[in-house]
Amino acid sequence: MNLNINNIPSKEIMPGYHGKLVHGDTMSLVFWEVEKEAEVPEHAHMHEQIMHVIEGDFEFTLDGNTKVYTTGDIVVIGSHQKHSGKALTNCKLMDVFSPVREEYK
């Protein structure tokens, strides 16, 4: 499979979270454009997740610990760890999930 980010359609997965999604056999990659003030409520999932803040300021809570992450920061979120987030500015994020996020297809 050969793709170009500019040719991947964007889907609003939740309010204010616009994602360009790529799925392999064992992982999903999501490039997010997140609107300022958009929130993800606390949740957990079986997927291991790695979040990279490409641009902006993103408040993120992992297992009850809240921190503001900025451009270049990376967070590793283990399987079943509770987490939530809020965009303090317009943000660009990249998430990698393993296994595939079937519900995002």
Q: What is the pLDDT along the chain (105 residues), one digit of tens a residue?
A: 899 999 999 999 999 999 999 999 999 999 999 999 999 999 999 999 999 999 999 999 999 999 999 999 999 999 999 999 999 999 999 999 999 999 888
Contact predicate 41/57, CB 8 Å: no
CA distance 30 to 16: 14
What domains sit in the chain, N to C, each tagged with a CATH number? 10-104 (2.60.120.10)
Contacts of 103 (CB under 8 A, 6+ apart): none
Q: What is the 3-state secondary structure (H, E, C) of 30-65?
A: EEEEECCCCEEEEECCCCEEEEEEEECCEEEEECCE
CA distance 60 to 62: 7
| The model's pTM | 0.93
C-alpha gyration radius of the chain: 13
* Burial of 35 from C-beta contacts in 10 A (0-12 / 13-18 / 19+): middle
